[in-house]
Amino acid sequence: MNYIIPLLVLLGFTILNYKISKSIGYPAFLFSLLWFLVILVHFLCIVFKIIPVYELSLKSLLIFVFGVFAFTFGGIFITYTYFRQNTLVFEGNVSRIELDPIFDNFLFWATIFLLPFYIKAAYVLAIKHMIYDSYFAGLRSAFSMHEELGLIKYAISIAFFNFFIRFIIFDHSYKRSRLIISLIVLFPYLFLTTGRTYYILFISLLFGIQLFKGKIKFSHVFLSIISFLLAFFLVAVYTRKGGSTELSLNNNFISISHTFLKYFTGPVSAFDAFINQPIDHTYGLNNYRFVQALFYKIGISDTQPVQLVKEFVRVPFYTNVYTLYRDSFEDFGITYTYISLFIFSSIHTFLFYRSNTQRYLILFLYAIMIYPLIMSFFQEQYFSLMPIWLQYILILLLSKRFIKS
């Protein structure tokens, strides 16, 4: 079996990256830990036959190991080029940041006012595509066919920003009731997305911001994991993807546990199948799809952008997600893939060292980048979610004049 040495190397990178920064928020530490756990779980599933899954080839394992090396090197490059002293600012005092009263009211009331319209748009889509006599499953089906809510879809970005800017400046005295209400109002928006993206983004932002408020505890990490697993369980039941309201709690638990392991191990197996067949390079059609889609929409190009949803592959269960590596590897090959990882790591590490609770814009960007890092084992999200990243950057830039620090 090819796993032992790659696992030891990945564990070594994980320990090294923690020693470099002494922080669990250091991007290269998170990346190396994630990939160590993914390969370890895959190995355990094969050894103990927990779920049927094909063994990874040495070729794929080496690609994953060198990917962690590239990400680690990006972190080391920034650390020892710009931040030799590793002076991180973890602080809890955020009282110096103040929201402009008019902007404060606009964010708060706009989030509440737009929610009924968001619910109505979701309801219309759910009725149109209803399956299994479930509104939720119908809405999920609509989104899978690339149906959209219209302009109201941008309301969730406002709701996210409304909650998290309050979370950053919250010091147990600043309008606590508005923070709580903003959180309560955010959850219907999250629920109606029907997918994992915004839940994991929510947890990523919580983790990143709490880290630089100096308040990260093991209990927070534990609660985040439990919250994600609970959300995964509920979505699986209501969309009937591994669970069902007709099954008992015990049967649902067993079925959804196996589904979760398939989500965790399937992408690396799918990439292994992809990498061990002839590859026709697409030269940017995947990673730079957003640019192509924009040109197509405004009439500059007649070429339709490639589909975001990939073909299914048998591993031996069926999956259509191929980790972070498929898109960049298919576009320009392995060298481009490692250069991309180096660049992403360098940017994220720079934001990590520059973040603190007074630099709310940088802190927000650091926290946002945790999401595509976490999802790297599942699918590419750095480039593919570019419209969402641009939305948040635009909101941050527009809000800058209304926030005093």
> When comparing pLDDT for 114 and 280, which is higher?
114
Pick the closest to residue 169 from 359, 26, 352 (CA basis).
Answer: 359
Pick the closest to residue 253 from 243, 238, 245 (CA basis).
Answer: 243
- Residue pair 254/41 in contact by the 8 Å Cβ criterion: no
> When comparing pLDDT for 114 and 97, which is higher?
114
3-state secondary structure at position 357:
coil
Pick the closest to residue 149 from 204, 98, 194, 110 (CA basis).
Answer: 194
- Interior angle at CA 101, CA 95 and CA 106, nearest 5: 120
Average of per-residue pLDDT across 114-122: 93
Pick the closest to residue 382 from 373, 391, 390 (CA basis).
Answer: 373
Structure tokens at 239: 């969309």
Question: If you average pLDDT over each of 49-58, 87-96, 255-264, which comes out highest?
Answer: 49-58
Q: Kindly report which listed range (87-101, 147-161, 169-183) carries the lowest average pLDDT score.
A: 87-101
Residue 6: cis peptide before it, omega within 30 degrees of 0: no
Structure tokens at 370: 């945790």
Question: Who's near 41: CB < 8 A, 6+ residues apart?
Answer: 261, 264, 265
> When comparing pLDDT for 84 and 282, which is higher?
282
- Confidence tier at 172 by pLDDT (50, 70, 90): very low
CA distances from 166 to 108, 294, 399 (A): 10, 33, 13
- Residue pair 372/382 in contact by the 8 Å Cβ criterion: yes
pLDDT at 290: 84
> When comparing pLDDT for 345 and 201, which is higher?
345
- Confidence tier at 358 by pLDDT (50, 70, 90): low
Average of per-residue pLDDT across 348-372: 85
3-state secondary structure at position 99:
strand
- Residue pair 126/118 in contact by the 8 Å Cβ criterion: no
In 48-109, at which residue ranges do the beta strands (DSSP E only) sit? 98-99
R_g (Cα) of the chain, nearest Å: 22
- Specify the DSSP class assigned to residue 402: G
3/35 Cα distance (integer angstroms): 13
- Confidence tier at 28 by pLDDT (50, 70, 90): very high
Q: Kindly report which listed range (66-70, 77-81, 384-388) carries the lowest average pLDDT score.
A: 384-388
Q: Mean pLDDT score of the chain, rounded to an integer? A: 84
Q: What is the residue type of 29?
A: F
Average of per-residue pLDDT across 114-137: 83
pLDDT at 35: 97
> When comparing pLDDT for 9 and 257, which is higher?
9
36/18 Cα distance (integer angstroms): 14
86/101 Cα distance (integer angstroms): 36
User: Over 60: is that where the pLDDT of 301 sits?
Assistant: yes
> When comparing pLDDT for 224 and 203, which is higher?
203
User: Over 50: is that where the pLDDT of 94 sits?
Assistant: no
What is the helix (H) or strand (E) element at residue 403, kind and residue range? Answer: strand 403-404
The separation between CA 304 and the C-alpha centre of its own chain, rounded to angstroms, equals 26
> When comparing pLDDT for 133 and 45, which is higher?
45
Average of per-residue pLDDT across 84-111: 71
- Of all residues in the chain, the percent with pLDDT exceeding 90 is 43
- Residue pair 324/318 in contact by the 8 Å Cβ criterion: no
pLDDT at 220: 59
End-to-end Cα distance, the chain: 55
User: Over 90: is that where the pLDDT of 147 sits?
Assistant: no
Structure tokens at 387: 């419209």
pLDDT at 92: 46
Largest CA distance in the chain: 63
Q: What is the pTM of this model?
A: 0.89
- Of all residues in the chain, the percent with pLDDT exceeding 70 is 83
- Confidence tier at 93 by pLDDT (50, 70, 90): very low
Structure tokens at 94: 């955020």
